[in-house]
Structure 1
Amino acid sequence: MRLDPDPDPRASLSLRWPAEYFAEPKASVSSISAEDELLAEQQWLWLEEVLTKSKEKQETVYIVGHMPPGVDERHLGTQHNQLTFTERNNQRYLDMVRRFAPVIQGQFFGHLHSDTFRLIYDAKGNPISWLMIAPSIVPRKAGIGSSNNPALRLYKFDTGSGQVLDYTQFWLDLPLANRANEPTWQPEYNLTHYYALPEISAVALHNFAERFTGTDLSWFTRYHRANAVRYHSGSACPGLCMLNHYCAITRLDYDEFRICLEKEQLALQGRAPAALMPTSWSWLLGVLAVFYGLHAERWSGGCNNCHIQRI
């Protein structure tokens, strides 16, 4: 995104938005009306116009907003209260990012008070764009899993290309600050080092998110500790909780998010008995399997086209 120097010599150190990239926000009303619909459509057209101009001029842009697309990763399931956009507008935003992904160097959002990220994929399933969702300076207490310590970030980027290179996050330990009666901000982590990323890109973040579904849970544990800025960092997030984070990160489309939960839940259920089944149940099922194997031929008259080797 281009920033032009302010022509006023008294403000030579300041920056201003070029008029073509700026739109004055208008006051909104509480109820949805035809006027609201018109204003919303004008915002969409403005965003598309800015992205089109940037593409034609071979510029790169950042998209900065408050409420991110997709769902809140900490609210389990598909409840309506975790959706930030309407379904139509959510899909419209994702489609627009896919169209202009080559010029979008990064997307930055907040609102959720959590430390997380999102990925957008093309029609073939290739990761093409990323979103960073930063926690807030204002603490939030909404129960374990939804609360956070205060945090802020210092981004490092290439001033020529606009490519985001890294960031360092600083945090405030609220319990410690209350005991000492003094706030002490300290570095929490550096993104590329903390997650062992070669770079900040959609592909690198996709590869990191895929580690959540593997057998090494240490990577998700690191992510989950940072997700609430170390607020109750020892709290567990197994099974469906972890799955909710994974699907929220990789499936911003609402329907795809629901399908991800359903599909991966079945996979979890398929793996759970072998790992969690009590020994007594395993022994009983083993006996039943042998019993069934010995008597199956008598009951069924033989095993036709049977691909399972019985004991």
Structure 2
Amino acid sequence: MAYVLFSAGSALFCAFLLLVASPPTSHSDVRNDMEKLDALGRTIQEARLSDPELEGSLKCSLCEMGMEVVQGLFIQNKSQDEIATVVTKLCILFHVEDKTVCTYIVQLFKHEILTVIDKLALSPKEACGLIVHDCGSPYDPTSFWNITLPNTPKPPVTPPKPPKPGAPVSRVLFLSDVHVDLLYKPGANVDCGEPLCCRANSPAGKGGPKPAGKWGDYRYCDTPLWTMENLLQHLAQKQSQFDYAIWAGDIPAHDVWNQSRTDQLHVLNTVSDMMLKYLKIPIYPALGNHESSPVDSFPPPFITGKDSISWLYDALAETWTHWTPVSTKRNIERGAFYSILIRPGLRLISINTNYCNTNNWWLLLNTTDPAGQLQWLTQQLQQAEDKGEKVHIIGHIPPGTNCLKAWSWNYYRIIDRYESTVAAQFFGHTHRDHFELFYDMKNRTRPTNIAYIGPSVTTYQYLNPGYKVYEIDGNYTGSSMLVVNQQTYIMNLTEANLTDKPNWQLEYDTKEAYNMSSMTPADWDKFVQRLEKDDKLFQTFYRYYYKSYPAEACDQKCRTALICDLKTARSDDPSMCTLTPEVTWRDLQNYRTANRLC
């Protein structure tokens, strides 16, 4: 169940990187080279069917030849439009997407990417290494840097204990990855050959028409607006049970090749107004990677003028301050992050993980702590520690997933230093239902923290719509503020489309389903150890990971990769993985690439 459009923006950036290699010493015959590219592209298609390893080596050749073509265009002082025409051809040859999507998305990205590469220089090996896996020596945008931690010594760690029976509990609603499609049309084709279907203008695709259901579809489709409204109507009836809600980002649909700033602001306002209409509880948002246009495009504050992200952050500041104090507005406008005291003793910090996003090509200009966010986070945590507050951190992209290595490893250091202050972390982005464990920095054996990763509202792809309810150790003196239990609710999409009666129902209660008496980091570490040995338990977890959609069988590489991810909250870190000659780190990386969502 690979996510076909793993990131159109990132993939097209790879194509545009062909532009920045060192110029050749002589003019290339562009027409002849394009004919060669055509022939090589056909050879790659044939190799894909017969020999995947050969396909990889041929892609290296395609990359190198493509660089020669585009370099020739630069030498001839061709315009952006002329260069974009060639990049569109490369997009099609690389099978990034079909002809229509390639054409539109190159036009969408060309100005921003050419602006970046005007200030960036890569060698041919670096460019091809970034474009094609195992081809050349890739540019490393993760050159390591370290934030400064306070000189204040880390307090002695007292292992958290489960609350006493009958202790107060707070209930927190978690919504993420709603991906509302305002153009969804029941009966439209669901498998149209484009990254997003189920629209009136969706192509016919292959294999005949496959009509979309009224309430959504498992295939290449996002959330109809009326399905989102039905969910909020359902939640409104039980909102008295919730103390507050976390809204972890990704509001727009996956039509990333055909979006504008106006489109993104329209869907932001539409869904936000609907949230305000139905939910009368505090809502604490975090920013997703799909809120910008182009997707994944989040320039740091040093990018000003027409390329600035202020058009989005200013809108977020207006919207988010429906629920957050006016004092948060300055940081939201600057970097889309904020800190708020929810109640005495409990602080919530919302971070902007687009500043770690591997697909945010603006970071190639300077990856060092964009917007000073991690240094700010450290200061917030130190102040919380000084005041005896516990902290919950919310964000969109989990720190061990799709995060630049230096950012991810620095974040890990911060959590290690403030493990007694950070009581819980909540993220979305993957569309799945799982978690990432943190371990001590000394020997990586003692579990210190956990990042909960909640499910998506969208069905994209092959998932039932879902949401989460976290039970938190409640508001009383001495509360740990830890998550003490969690429930996942889903709508069985098949039944909803058959009966025209959507029903949001409990999928599972964590402590009951996994036979856990408590949910401290140590308990989750023991749970992962059980997953490694108990196949029945693993299959149960795997089913809930996909929100009860009948997922494909999980082979050994799949199982190793998934368990590895549960133990790894640091990107590009194989140290917690069980590797064998049969299952290598490269195998796990390839598996993740083929199955990731964003």
Calculate the TM-score normalised by the size of structure 2: 0.37
Give yes or no for contact 2:487–2:507 (8 Å, CA) kept in 1: yes
| 178-187 vs 219-228, which moves further | 178-187
Distance in 2, matches of 1:201 and 1:68, equals: 19
Asked if 1:118 corresponds to 2:433, the answer is no
Residue in structure 2 matched with residue 67 of structure 1 by the alignment: 397
Q: 1:159 aligns with which of 468, 475, 480?
A: 475
> Once the 2 structures are TM-superposed, how far is the Cα of residue 259 of structure 1 from its aligned partner?
6.9
Distance in 2, matches of 1:18 and 1:204, equals: 39
Give yes or no for contact 2:428–2:456 (8 Å, CA) kept in 1: yes
Distance in 2, matches of 1:21 and 1:134, equals: 26
Count of matched residue pairs: 238
> Once the 2 structures are TM-superposed, how far is the Cα of residue 40 of structure 1 from its aligned partner?
1.3
Structure ID, larger Rg: 1
Question: Partner of 1:251: helix, strand, or coil?
Answer: coil
Asked if 1:54 corresponds to 2:384, the answer is yes
Q: Which runs of 5+ in 2 are unaligned?
A: 1-242, 244-280, 283-322, 336-353, 585-598
Q: 2:523 aligns with which of 188, 204, 208?
A: 204
Give yes or no for contact 1:62–1:104 (8 Å, CA) kept in 2: yes
Give yes or no for contact 1:21–1:50 (8 Å, CA) kept in 2: no
Residue in structure 1 matched with residue 447 of structure 2 by the alignment: 127
Give yes or no for contact 1:135–1:148 (8 Å, CA) kept in 2: no
Distance in 2, matches of 1:219 and 1:22, equals: 47
Residue in structure 1 matched with residue 331 of structure 2 by the alignment: 23
Question: Partner of 1:155: helix, strand, or coil?
Answer: strand
- Mark the CA change 1:202 to 1:265 in structure 2 (over 3 Å): closer, same or farther: farther
Residue in structure 2 matched with residue 190 of structure 1 by the alignment: 509
Calculate the TM-score normalised by the size of structure 1: 0.68
Distance in 2, matches of 1:97 and 1:21, equals: 25
Distance in 2, matches of 1:102 and 1:21, equals: 28
Give yes or no for contact 1:243–1:264 (8 Å, CA) kept in 2: no
Residue in structure 1 matched with residue 464 of structure 2 by the alignment: 149
> Over residues 34-68 of structure 1, what are the superposed CA-to-partner deviations in whole Å (9 max), with x where a residue is unaligned?
98757714211211111110111110000100000
Distance in 1, matches of 2:538 and 2:475, equals: 32
Q: Which runs of 5+ in 1 are unaligned?
A: 4-12, 72-83, 142-146, 268-311
Q: 2:500 aligns with which of 151, 170, 181?
A: 181
Distance in 2, matches of 1:53 and 1:172, equals: 42
- 1:67 maps to a residue whose letter is I
> Once the 2 structures are TM-superposed, how far is the Cα of residue 165 of structure 1 from its aligned partner?
1.6
Question: Partner of 1:92: helix, strand, or coil?
Answer: helix
Residue in structure 2 matched with residue 221 of structure 1 by the alignment: 539
Distance in 2, matches of 1:86 and 1:246, equals: 21
Distance in 2, matches of 1:26 and 1:35, equals: 18
Give yes or no for contact 2:437–2:567 (8 Å, CA) kept in 1: yes
> Over residues 59-81 of structure 1, what are the superposed CA-to-partner deviations in whole Å (9 max), with x where a residue is unaligned?
0000100000113xxxxxxxxxx
User: What RMSD over aligned residues (CA atoms) do the two structures have, in Å?
Assistant: 3.0
Residue in structure 1 matched with residue 574 of structure 2 by the alignment: 257
Distance in 1, matches of 2:576 and 2:524, equals: 21
> Over residues 170-198 of structure 1, what are the superposed CA-to-partner deviations in whole Å (9 max), with x where a residue is unaligned?
10111111111221111111111111111
- 1:68 maps to a residue whose letter is P
Q: Structure 1 residue runs of 4+, over 6 Å off? A: 27-30, 33-36
Residue in structure 2 matched with residue 93 of structure 1 by the alignment: 411
Residue in structure 1 matched with residue 423 of structure 2 by the alignment: 105
Distance in 1, matches of 2:373 and 2:564, equals: 29
Give yes or no for contact 2:369–2:407 (8 Å, CA) kept in 1: no
> Once the 2 structures are TM-superposed, how far is the Cα of residue 254 of structure 1 from its aligned partner?
3.7
> Over residues 102-156 of structure 1, what are the superposed CA-to-partner deviations in whole Å (9 max), with x where a residue is unaligned?
0111000000000011100002210000111011111112xxxxx3211111222
Give yes or no for contact 1:94–1:120 (8 Å, CA) kept in 2: yes
- 1:150 maps to a residue whose letter is P
Asked if 1:244 corresponds to 2:552, the answer is no
> Over residues 246-278 of structure 1, what are the superposed CA-to-partner deviations in whole Å (9 max), with x where a residue is unaligned?
1111123345327725348569xxxxxxxxxxx
> Once the 2 structures are TM-superposed, how far is the Cα of residue 18 of structure 1 from its aligned partner?
8.3
Give yes or no for contact 1:114–1:134 (8 Å, CA) kept in 2: yes
- Mark the CA change 1:96 to 1:18 in structure 2 (over 3 Å): closer, same or farther: farther
> Once the 2 structures are TM-superposed, how far is the Cα of residue 163 of structure 1 from its aligned partner?
2.4
Give yes or no for contact 2:490–2:507 (8 Å, CA) kept in 1: yes
Residue in structure 2 matched with residue 308 of structure 1 by the alignment: none
